[in-house]
Amino acid sequence: MGREAAEGRARASETAPVEDPADSVDRHIARWTGKVPFDVPTEAVITRIQLLAKHVSHAKERALAETGLQAFEFDTMHRLASRGAPWRAPSAELAAELLLSPAGMTGRLDTLEKSGLVRRLRAAADRRRVDVELTGEGHRRWTEAMRRRGIAEAGMIEPLDDADRAALAALLKRMLLAVETR
């Protein structure tokens, strides 16, 4: 009888619906319900997006720290790497993309150049123009930072299967398009 009862309980637990564990947003909503008016589904979505964005930001910061790069260094190198080999762009173009003043760009490039991550080259056709190019070491460090960031990002979406990822991407795209086109 004991064995049969145990097997019966095991079968029942296999077929019983599994309740999702509460996350920090569930606790946040429970704490605020009845204290302030809000739409629960909206609060749940927006707060989860905010918290996930913070987790993404922290994961990216850790990946950069592991490669010894600061965010401003990575951002500048990322813009150069996006152009393909030889990973070069005019400094004025980079400054515009990064929303930096010429003086801000100069300071940033001084730091990167001293670290051996970029080099400045005078354009042959126009000596006033300065091109910025990733060095081999700069490209290697950028690539390593990208690899580490990719691992962190993949870990965050690992609980989702391919169909879930596609559905979530489509839903987020719909939300973003609505905001961007207002």
Q: What is the mean pLDDT of the chain?
A: 89
Residue at token pair 């095991």: 10
- Closest by CA to 45, choosing from 160, 181, 180, 175, is 175
| Residue labelled with tokens 């490669």 | 67
- The confidence score (pLDDT) of residue 4 equals 56
- pTM flag (> 0.85): no
Of residues 11, 144, 158, the one with CA closest to residue 74: 144
pLDDT over 60 at 37, yes or no = yes
Q: How confident is the model at residue 15 (pLDDT cuts 50, 70, 90)?
A: low
Q: What are phi and psi of 150, to 5 degrees?
A: -60, -40
Confidence of residue 126 (pLDDT cuts 50, 70, 90): confident
Instruction: Sort 141 into a burial class: Cβ within 10 Å, 0-12 / 13-18 / 19+.
Output: buried
Q: How high is the pLDDT of residue 19?
A: 74
Instruction: Return d(Cα 88, Cα 111) in angstroms, integer.
Output: 17
What would the pLDDT profile of 79-91 be if each residue is shown by its tens digit? 999 998 999 999 9
Query: CATH fold of 71-143, please?
Result: Arc Repressor Mutant, subunit A (1.10.10)
pLDDT of 11 > 80? The answer is no
